[in-house]
Structure 1
Amino acid sequence: MRHDPERDAAAYLAGELGALRRLWFERHMLDCRDCWAEATTARQGRILAESLRVVAPPSMRERIRATADLTADLATEPERRRWPYLLLAGAVAMLIAVALTMALRLMTQPAPLLAAAELQRADALTVHQEPGPPSMRIGAYTWQGTAQERLDEIPATVYAYATPDGRRMLLITSTRPFPRAAGARDLKPAPSWLAEVDDASLLCADKDGTSWLAVAADEATVLSAGQALGLTRQG
């Protein structure tokens, strides 16, 4: 019987086969190496996609979704109008691959650090005037208030800072040490480090039994915060 392993495996996994056809295909896979390989590979791809959906933060998921939608729109263009978009479609495919690679990198980052990066981008953070901050001002940033949060399993005190033009920075402290980020660069004095996590810059330093984490949109801001608070030094 002539058949298309790729098409049949896709229909099987999507639940598009009728009861008899499904039963036939399940029995057929036991004897057909091509169909078995197609079904196994597709199922593994689905598992990977689901894991990326769960792990990747909202900002990453939206970029991947928007890129995929653009690719789908190009695919529906009439044949006579499709050819001018071939180069663009190739670029879109490359962008999807890059986005997926970035999502896979995020899977290696500790959950508390991903939570800290997400908190820095949050539109609203309920703050109070107690406890007071370690410093009222850090460069152009002024203390706005303090919140008590949990970064995954780590309880933390979050000091929110902002500039007059709306840029934000968080200074987070905890009696429990924050995990080291994947790809982090060591700073002086050890064990301080600097890393990029989900489009945010993080600086971490342990001092006098307290773990400190500065989170901002750019590296220069967290470096200046670490130096201002005596957590790190230049060079």
Structure 2
Amino acid sequence: MRHDPERDAAAYLAGELSTLRRIRFERHMLDCRACWSEANTAREGRILAESLREAAPASTRERIRAVADVPAESPVRQRARWPYVLAAATAVLVVLAAVVIPQVIERRQPAPLVAAAALLKSNALTLSREPVPAMKTIGAYGWRGTTQRDLAGIPATIYDYVAPEGRRLLVIASSQEFPRARNARDLDPAPSWLARVDEVSLLCADKHGLSWLAAATDDAAALRAGRALGLT
């Protein structure tokens, strides 16, 4: 029997078949590898799209719904435009992947780095005047105090700096090595790196037997701190 697996699978998954035709097609798929493959691939694509949709921001989901919200058409016209629907679905998946995957990577950053980023944003450190850092000023930033913290299992000494307009910079030192961020890019000298973690720029380098982090609101400030401290 000659048939179109793509068309038949699309009609089956869209619920266009009558009860009798649906039963017959399900029996037919047991012996037809092409129809089974078409139906299974389309079903897996729908599941993947749903999983990505749940993780996507609300604004992205609304844009995709607007694109997908087309008027009802006859089964014949729906089958005629099936290739275009597949192309549109592929484009939607590409957009979702571009939006969602970076967010997933961001959520899975090592806990000590997430903790360091949170300290910069909290602005609620209890500071003391000891120990004094080797550099009391880094560019426009002036040292205002030091604290000792455990960053998700890594003991650290944290030097807090502030600029006249209120921007903050943290310089963090530990005898234990900080884990590498998943989205890090290498700096010179290796194995120094720079990454964005939870909207905070982190520069990491090892020097004098210690592991160092510079946490700033932007990459430029983190890089300036790294150069001033001789880390890069």
C-alpha contact (below 8 Å) 2:203/2:214 kept by paired residues: yes
Q: Which runs of 5+ in 1 are unaligned?
A: 9-23, 54-60, 80-92
- Supply the distance in 1 between the matched residues of 2:53 and 2:68 (Cα, whole angstroms): 24
| CA shift for structure 1 position 109 | 4.7
| CA shift for structure 1 position 45 | 4.7
Greater radius of gyration (CA)? 2
**6 and 172 in structure 1: CA distance in 2 versus 1, 3 angstrom threshold:** farther
The aligned residue for residue 188 of structure 2 is 187
| CA shift for structure 1 position 192 | 2.7
- Supply the distance in 2 between the matched residues of 1:68 and 1:161 (Cα, whole angstroms): 40
The aligned residue for residue 13 of structure 2 is 5
1:132-211 maps to which residues of 2 (within 5 A)?
Answer: 132-134=131-133, 135-182=135-182, 183-188=184-189, 190-211=190-211
Within the alignment, does 1:128 sit opposite 2:127 as a pair? yes
| CA shift for structure 1 position 187 | 1.7
**167 and 65 in structure 1: CA distance in 2 versus 1, 3 angstrom threshold:** farther
- Supply the distance in 2 between the matched residues of 1:49 and 1:154 (Cα, whole angstroms): 36
**71 and 185 in structure 1: CA distance in 2 versus 1, 3 angstrom threshold:** same
The aligned residue for residue 213 of structure 2 is 213
**Structure 2 length as normaliser, TM-score?**
0.59
C-alpha contact (below 8 Å) 1:149/1:155 kept by paired residues: yes
Find the residue that maps to 1:178 and give its secondary structure. Answer: coil
- Supply the distance in 2 between the matched residues of 1:118 and 1:6 (Cα, whole angstroms): 47
Find the residue that maps to 1:176 and give its secondary structure. Answer: coil
Q: How large is the RMSD of aligned CA atoms in angstroms?
A: 4.0
- Supply the distance in 2 between the matched residues of 1:110 and 1:6 (Cα, whole angstroms): 43
| CA shift for structure 1 position 211 | 0.5
Q: Which runs of 5+ in 2 are unaligned?
A: 1-7, 17-22, 72-91
- Supply the distance in 1 between the matched residues of 2:50 and 2:150 (Cα, whole angstroms): 32
- Supply the distance in 2 between the matched residues of 1:217 and 1:96 (Cα, whole angstroms): 27
> What is the percentage of aligned positions where both structures have the same residue?
39
Count of aligned pairs between the two proteins: 187
- Supply the distance in 2 between the matched residues of 1:7 and 1:151 (Cα, whole angstroms): 54
C-alpha contact (below 8 Å) 1:157/1:174 kept by paired residues: yes
The aligned residue for residue 68 of structure 1 is 61
- Supply the distance in 1 between the matched residues of 2:126 and 2:15 (Cα, whole angstroms): 55
- Supply the distance in 2 between the matched residues of 1:78 and 1:194 (Cα, whole angstroms): 45
1:35-114 maps to which residues of 2 (within 5 A)?
Answer: 35-46=39-50, 53=55, 64-69=57-62, 72=65, 74=66, 97-106=97-106, 109-114=109-114
- Supply the distance in 1 between the matched residues of 2:15 and 2:112 (Cα, whole angstroms): 42
| CA shift for structure 1 position 130 | 5.2
**Structure 1 length as normaliser, TM-score?**
0.59
- Supply the distance in 1 between the matched residues of 2:173 and 2:40 (Cα, whole angstroms): 52
The one-letter amino acid paired with 1:170 is L
**77 and 191 in structure 1: CA distance in 2 versus 1, 3 angstrom threshold:** closer
